[in-house]
Amino acid sequence: MSEIEQTAHCAHCGAELPPSHIGPCPSCGQEGKHINVSIQETINITSSLHWETRREYYQKHKGATVAVIAITVISPFIGLALVGPLGIIAGLALDCIAYYLGPKAATKIIEITKGNA
């Protein structure tokens, strides 16, 4: 909220006049006035701080990694040993197992911490 205060004085004798006064001074008869205006204002300032930290890393699972590597190395030899449709089915079955174990071998972890001040 702002407060405005106006005062006026005769430029010659210093007599107090209303700010809206027009014409000669009632005290000395001369023309001219000084007007003083003061404004008082209150301003409120607030601030806030929000922050976020992220930590990203891969969590490795040794058992799943070893299983995927073993399946990858062994599956061609099983396909070679089991010739024909049985070898194809065994190779596809091992590939499906490796496909589902692969993401478990290394999992991406994202830790998010948020705060305010």
What pLDDT score was predicted for residue 96?
86
What is the residue extent of each domain of the chain?
A: 2-41, 50-116
Closest CA to 8 of 31, 21, 27: 21
- Averages of pLDDT over runs of 10 residues in the chain (117 residues) are 85 90 89 90 90 92 88 83 83 86 87 90
What pLDDT score was predicted for residue 110?
94
CB 39 within 8 A of CB 66: no
Look up the pTM and report it: 0.41
